[in-house]
Amino acid sequence: MHRTPVNPWNWSLNLGYNQGEVIEGTSRQLIIAGQTAVDHEGNPQHPNDMRSQIDLALNNLQAVLQSADMDLGNVIRLGVYTTDVDEALKNFDLLGMRFGPIQCAPPMTLLGATRLAMPSLMFEIEATAAA
């Protein structure tokens, strides 16, 4: 897979994502449902702790990727939903710690929501990956 960043301006690079990417040479895609801070039985974890919820949601995202023989470097798009945009942004360094070292900055959308599927959840991340 070959990725070509598309950034008519560079402000989003400071936030860890490209405005767009041209993806070439892929043979398969993985569409990943929203991953949240739930355990292996689907029970919500870390109520009222945004940082821990983001960390667990990212762990769950990586688990789905690994189950498809992919990793974070295969992610070509992220959708992020949160019940508190300001608190989520304070903890976005967690995304940078995972995507930064592999120099992956997939296009991303961040949306605020009044609530997620389960009332105690504060953060959800969905992805598209390609290989």
Structure confidence by residue, pLDDT tens digits, 78-115: 999 999 999 999 999 999 999 999 999 999 999 999 99
| Structure tokens that stand for 80 in this block | 């992020």
Give the residue numbers spanning the domain of 65.
Answer: 28-130
Contact criterion met (CB below 8 Å) for 97 and 64: no
The answer to pTM > 0.85 is yes
Q: What is the CATH number of the domain that holds 101?
A: 3.30.1330.40
Is there a domain that residue 32 lies in?
A: yes
Is there a domain that residue 73 lies in?
A: yes
Written as one string, the DSSP assignment of 7-57 is: -SSSGGGGGT--SEEEEES---EEEEEEE-SB-TTS-B-STT-HHHHHHHH
Is there a domain that residue 4 lies in?
A: no
Mean pLDDT for 13-28 is: 94
Which residues is 126 bridged to in the sheet? Answer: 79
Say what the pLDDT of residue 106 is: 97
pLDDT band at 131 (very low <50, low <70, confident <90, very high): very high
Nearest to 126 by CA among 30, 10, 43: 30
* Total tally of structural domains belonging to the chain: 1
